[in-house]
Amino acid sequence: MKKIIIGSDHGGFVLKGIVCRYLKENGYEVEDAGTYSSDSCDYPVIAKQVAQKVSNGTYERGILICGTGLGMAITANKFRNVRAVTCTDTCSARMSRLHNDANILCLGERITGEYLAMDIVDIWLNTGFSGGRHQKRVDMIED
């Protein structure tokens, strides 16, 4: 079974619910790392929960949602082997998989509407990494 971990702060809480539903309907086993209410909380705490488990290989992919998708990506990219990208359009979502082998998708609930966000999620989850010359470049990130 495909499995994925997802998290949000209060700014991404509503969109997280929508994305979770989509994932489950599409056969994913989903770990929801919080937050579990719309009460204000600190995005780095949630980003750490998700990024650690992608970093150590527990999950191949994760999704993080905050108001803008920015703080989540900044935090997640502190972790080894994490390649987190904030996407606000479908082309970036596709290219982040093809060329960068992005393993965490960050979304901004206050930036991207629900329909576009779901297209971004769908494309990001279903696009493979090109490998080849891009593998060498991705390896260079960790070096």
- Per CB under 6 A, residues contacting ligand RB5 are 9, 11, 43, 66-68, 70-71
Q: Which of 20, 41, 99, 134 is catalytic?
A: 99
Q: Which of 10, 66, 87, 106 is catalytic?
A: 66
Q: Which is nearer to ligand RB5, 7 or 71 (CB)?
A: 71
How many residues comprise the chain?
143
Active-site residue, 66 included: yes
Could you give the CA distance from residue 37 to residue 132 in angstroms, rounded to a whole number? 43
CB of 1 to ligand RB5, least distance (A): 30
Residue 65 pairs in a beta bridge with 8, 107
Q: Which is nearer to ligand RB5, 41 or 138 (CB)?
A: 41
Burial 3-32 (b: 16+ CB within 10 A, else e): ebbbbbbbbbbebbeebbebbeeeebebbe
Active-site residue, 99 included: yes
Q: Which is nearer to ligand RB5, 1 or 40 (CB)?
A: 40
Six-digit token string for 112? 């991207």
Active site residues: 66, 99
